[in-house]
Amino acid sequence: MRVAVFDIWGTFAHFRKFWTTSSSLSYPFPPPPTIRGILGAILGYRKEEYIKKTSPFKVGVRILNPVKRLKLSMNFLHTGDLGIQDFERFAQNIRKRGLLHTQTVVEVLKNPKYRIYVSSEDPQRFEELEETLKGEENVYTISLGWANFLAKYSYIGTFEGKPVEKSPKADSIVPVDKVLSLEFEKNAPQYLARDRIPLHLAEDRKPLSYTSVVYSLDAKPLRGEFKDLIELPTGEVIHLFP
């Protein structure tokens, strides 16, 4: 199994939790649908086609910088279900009517950095991605969640991964059902968390499935016993979401 690896980072990020209501909370890492959106931007897939075109990709993610959260109050316009023409008329009348907005508390990640792992059952599409990553190019602007949270990326390499039945560590985000046991260092603080994340989206971008995962907030490998993971020549042991 060939796995393409690249690092992605930015000043800020926000990956909205699907169950959030008025206050927008963020996952501390990009869930699989978000990673596929990033791959779609790199390869130049349009918004209406990237979900289908990136479906052959298996993706994984590792948190490289310890998670730092900020709470910001942000103003959002009340635009409702305005179409393009309606919005143009709305914009023209903003000065006359005053700025109609609502203030929302948003959780933002500061100085996030991640390592992304990608494999594919489609050799042609994988080669297309690999060549684009090697040149560190992207067709569309890439971001970390919101469009204004711009990101940069750096290609690490393509490696041959081998399946491992049991491992004493996991470097990436892993599903709960891959965790047999967890170990903790003595006299050393460790910050682990568990979340339920979207796994697949329908073409209308509504979630189709979810999975529960475990990860380290302080960007350290998980220790314990894990099953059915993939080991890379770099020594990293990872999970790829289908």
Q: Which residues of 218-238 are buried (b: 16+ CB within 10 A; e: fewer)?
A: ebbebbeebeebbbbeeebbb
Which residue matches tokens 């390592």? 115
Q: SS3 letters for 95-141?
A: HHHCCCEEEEEEEEEECCEEEEEEEECCHHHHHHHHHHHHCCCCCCC
Domains of the chain, start order: 2-71+105-238 (3.30.70.2660)
Maximum mean pLDDT: which of 84-88, 95-99, 217-221: 217-221
User: Residues 51-95: pLDDT tens digits?
Assistant: 999 999 999 999 999 999 998 877 666 555 555 556 566 666 655
Count of C-beta atoms within a 10 Å radius of residue 186: 5
User: Residues 23-57: pLDDT tens digits?
Assistant: 689 999 999 999 999 999 999 999 889 999 999 99
As to burial, measured by CB atoms within 10 angstroms (0-12 exposed, 13-18 middle, 19+ buried), residue 70 is: exposed
Cβ atoms 133, 17 nearer than 8 A? no
Predicted TM-score of the model (pTM): 0.89
User: Residues 163-205: pLDDT tens digits?
Assistant: 999 999 999 999 999 999 999 888 777 899 999 999 999 888 8
CA–CA separation, 237 and 167 (whole Å): 8
Would you say residue 161 has pLDDT above 60?
yes
